[in-house]
Structure 1
Amino acid sequence: MSYFTIAGVQMHALHHGDNTQAMRHRVDVLMSRFPQVQMVLFSELMPMGASPLHAHPMPSNAEAMFCQLAEQHRIWLIPGSMFEKVDDRIYNTLSVINPHGQVVARYRKMFPFLPYEAGVESGSEFVTFDVPNVARFGVSICYDMWFPETTRTLAAMGAEVILHPTMTDTIDRDIELSIARTNAAINQCYFFDINGAGAIGNGRSIVVGPSGDVIHQAGTGEEVMPIEIDLNRVRRERETGLRGLGQPLKSFRDRSVDFSLYQGETRSTPFLDTLGPLAKPLRANVEDY
């Protein structure tokens, strides 16, 4: 199968609170209107809001509800992410649920938005999953995409589509739109970057094709985006080049350079060590003005 339909859902939600029933209603309506949809993707931290105080061990009751919902509608479902509690640690964790209502993978965000997402641990495992007879998908969360190694690793693992829930309510959203396009182009893949709206994001979700082309960019309000993708586009462009030109994945594979930045135990350089601690900027004293 070459064609596959994914619906991104950009919706308003409580910043601190349970949004699961609103999400259930949104899926019910979406599938009634667009029965061709095969996968639904929500934004980061949509189910339980953005407070780590709502962290729960997984599997959880919320995750179980989403499993039932996926089985009910026979869809793949990625309900954004939720804070996961493991002993005394908290992770920002995404669940991948198949049409049988089974959790086939969980992904823990590798790059919490430090120093602002304080108290959240970093995940360490990349996650891809296969939709049988369709494609391999990769997942990442929000700030992960600012580090090109994350998307490149997923592409090197065979991912043809990157599913990327985000919760951006800050003034750097315009930069993220460029990063989404760049990640899609240099990895020759589809990139679904789905943001929240209102209290849990400033919208402007974006879906990008393997040439870096914008298939759809949402506004700032609520929006449902059912989009049919053609996986043959990815395979053809990886074979013949982006717009018949550059073949970045093959060039990366055939590189003659080793990146010393990533070698050794410290994984650092003298220059990076001069940048100081990873901390919030402080307000200057009045006497300094």
Structure 2
Amino acid sequence: MQPFAIAGVQMHVGAYTENVSAIRQRLDLTVARFPWVQMVLFSELAPYGPLPQHAQDLPGPTEEAFQEMARAHGVWLIPGSVFERVGDKIYNTAIVINPDGEVVGRYRKMFPFRPYEDGVEAGTEFLIFDVPNVGRFGLSICYDIWFPETTRTLTAQGVEVLLHPVLTGTVDRDVELSIARASAAMFQCYIFDINGLGAGGCGRSCVVDPSGLVLYQAAGQEEIIPIEVDLDLVRRQRETGLKGLGQTLKSFRDRDVEFGIYDRANPANAYLNSLGPLEMPQRGSRAGLDVRPGTLETPPTQAYGEATGAGGPRLHTVDLIHGVNRTGTT
């Protein structure tokens, strides 16, 4: 085993003041308390909080400050992410800096949390990097992990540790933690899911091993979470299976089926196209969250399958409000 230690830092994030100096303090404390740590990961949008008006130019002074911090401590540093300004566009971008203070790469979040993260552009390129003599690492940011295609693409290229900074302060945090655990097991990798506090989230950061075992889950206070990973465990499990059982990566490699659903022109996507626009629900609207009897017209029934009969094709439909199955003839 080549030992490699990663510390996730769950810290309070302010929305209206910079948090770069707080990151510097937490990094100093992390290295002082745990000098064996070799990589430090902060939460999504930790440096400046969740407001796009604090967007930064990359490269720029903020990135240079983080480069100096990594170089001073001789650690790999992922200082969460920042809103990056590129002309008139804004991206949610994470930076990876090596122990020499060099920027190894920048990753732009592929799935902004739309419609809530409105006005943020989506990235289209993955970031994978190797730590010499250790293993292969990859990044995703928050909502990205809800789309298994992102983790699939990373692990198909050999990623063994998924670094996943998040900013989640909403009621779906339990679901997100379940996805982190399931993803670790499905893709046989470590996942460091690091959340912030205050304007940066509700905490409950977690680290999951490649069998889906939660190695540690934080609560709702500031914490430094140092975990030593064993990448030989990843390699062994990918070879022999989870607990000697499912060999999911090899089974996917040797599959007999091709997934046409990924062709946007495939007729199988017709249902997805029927779901309406990606927009914010409004109170009292058909898509709203506050539906009371008598406030809405009964919506049209929606076809979800087709069968043939003597009267011609029959559409099986469901009443969207009352959940009643109906069968009609065209």
TM-score (norm 2): 0.85
181 and 64 in structure 1: CA distance in 2 versus 1, 3 angstrom threshold: same
1:184 alignment partner in structure 2? 184
Mapped to 2, the partners of 1:266 and 1:43 lie a distance apart of 38
- Structure 2 letter corresponding to 1:261: I
Mapped to 1, the partners of 2:9 and 2:233 lie a distance apart of 24
Mapped to 2, the partners of 1:264 and 1:8 lie a distance apart of 38
Shift in Å, 1:198: 2.0
1:11 alignment partner in structure 2? 11
For the 8 Å contact 1:56–1:85, the answer to whether it is kept is yes
Partner SS for 1:129: strand
- Structure 2 letter corresponding to 1:75: V
Shift in Å, 1:30: 1.0
1:117 alignment partner in structure 2? 117
2:246 alignment partner in structure 1? 246
2:150 alignment partner in structure 1? 150
- Structure 2 letter corresponding to 1:141: I
Partner SS for 1:155: helix
For the 8 Å contact 1:9–1:40, the answer to whether it is kept is yes
2:306 alignment partner in structure 1? none
- Structure 2 letter corresponding to 1:288: T
Shift in Å, 1:28: 0.5
1:205 alignment partner in structure 2? 205
Identity, % of aligned positions: 61
1:217 alignment partner in structure 2? 217
1:51 alignment partner in structure 2? 51
Q: Which one has the largest radius of gyration?
A: 2
2:326 alignment partner in structure 1? none
2:71 alignment partner in structure 1? 71
The gaps in structure 2 that reach 5 residues or longer are 286-291, 297-330
Deviations 1:112-161 (A, max 9, x none): 00000000000000110000000000000000000000011100011000
Question: Structure 1 residue 288 and structure 2 residue 295: aligned?
Answer: yes
2:305 alignment partner in structure 1? none
Mapped to 1, the partners of 2:268 and 2:31 lie a distance apart of 48
1:81 alignment partner in structure 2? 81
Partner SS for 1:100: coil
For the 8 Å contact 2:49–2:199, the answer to whether it is kept is no
Alpha-carbon RMSD across the aligned residues, in angstroms, is 1.5
- Structure number with the bigger relative contact order (C-alpha 8 A, sep ≥ 6) is 1
The gaps in structure 1 that reach 5 residues or longer are none
2:301 alignment partner in structure 1? none
Partner SS for 1:200: coil
1:261 alignment partner in structure 2? 261
Partner SS for 2:100: coil
Mapped to 1, the partners of 2:193 and 2:179 lie a distance apart of 10
After TM superposition, where is structure 1 displaced by more than 6 Å over at least 4 residues in a row? none
- Structure 1 letter corresponding to 2:295: D
TM-score (norm 1): 0.97
For the 8 Å contact 1:16–1:50, the answer to whether it is kept is no
268 and 64 in structure 1: CA distance in 2 versus 1, 3 angstrom threshold: farther
Partner SS for 1:224: strand
Aligned residues: 289
Shift in Å, 1:17: 2.5
For the 8 Å contact 1:89–1:120, the answer to whether it is kept is yes
15 and 237 in structure 1: CA distance in 2 versus 1, 3 angstrom threshold: same
Which structure's residues are more often helix, by fraction? Answer: 1
Residue pairs, 1:11-30, within 5 angstroms: 11-30=11-30
Mapped to 2, the partners of 1:8 and 1:267 lie a distance apart of 44
Mapped to 2, the partners of 1:25 and 1:264 lie a distance apart of 47
Mapped to 1, the partners of 2:276 and 2:6 lie a distance apart of 42
Structure 1 stretch displaced more, 16-25 or 112-121: 16-25
Partner SS for 1:282: coil
Mapped to 1, the partners of 2:89 and 2:268 lie a distance apart of 26
Deviations 1:186-223 (A, max 9, x none): 00000000000122100000100000000000001111
Question: Structure 1 residue 104 and structure 2 residue 104: aligned?
Answer: yes
- Structure 2 letter corresponding to 1:9: V
Mapped to 1, the partners of 2:228 and 2:190 lie a distance apart of 11
For the 8 Å contact 2:141–2:166, the answer to whether it is kept is yes
266 and 88 in structure 1: CA distance in 2 versus 1, 3 angstrom threshold: farther
For the 8 Å contact 1:198–1:221, the answer to whether it is kept is no
